[in-house]
Amino acid sequence: MSTLEEHVDIGAPVDKTWDCLHRVDSIPQYVAGVREAHLEGKRTHLDLEAGGRTRELDLEITDRTTEKVMSWQTTGGPDLAGSVSLLPIDREHTRVQARFEYDPGTIKDDFGGPKGFAQAAAIERGLRSDLQQFKTLVEHER
């Protein structure tokens, strides 16, 4: 498994950022390729387009509310996992740290795209862009 970590500082309190993170229907607004997201029982269902292919993924999400950490794992399909941690900088600012765990072969087989260093660079750019979109979403709702 490969692991990628990125972070972004958001001009919003940690509780507001946490609430925005948990609005499943807003995921397509900040995660590239996700066309639709909704809850199905305790799982989050994503319809997405990646590598010119449409896919459906189900995620099992767990929270450590007091620590403001949300972890996720795919159920079925490609084995992907990650977490998002919120750390208060001060009363009006939050650091969002995202961690993404993936198998490079799985990404290539299930989603297409480049291999090796080019794949890692594309995933890094995508995660960074998603975090910037999340920042825009949260700060716009102030």
Please indicate whether residue 117 or residue 130 has the higher confidence score (pLDDT): 130
Residue count of the chain, please give it: 142
Domains of the chain from N-terminus onward: 2-22+61-140 (3.30.530.20)
What pLDDT, on the 0 to 100 scale, is given for residue 86?
A: 97
Q: Does the pLDDT of residue 83 top 80, yes or no?
A: yes
What pLDDT, on the 0 to 100 scale, is given for residue 53?
A: 80
Q: Residue 68's CB: how many other CB atoms inside 10 A?
A: 19
Q: Taking the model in full, what pTM does it have?
A: 0.88
What pLDDT, on the 0 to 100 scale, is given for residue 124?
A: 87
- The predicted model gives 76-97 an average pLDDT of 94
Per DSSP (E only), the strands in the chain are: 2-10, 34-40, 43-50, 53-64, 69-74, 81-90, 93-102
Residues 6+ apart with CB under 8 A from 114: 108, 122
Model pLDDT for residues 36-74, shown as the tens digit of each residue = 999 988 899 999 987 778 889 999 999 888 899 999 999
Which residue type is seen at 21?
L
- The predicted model gives 73-87 an average pLDDT of 91
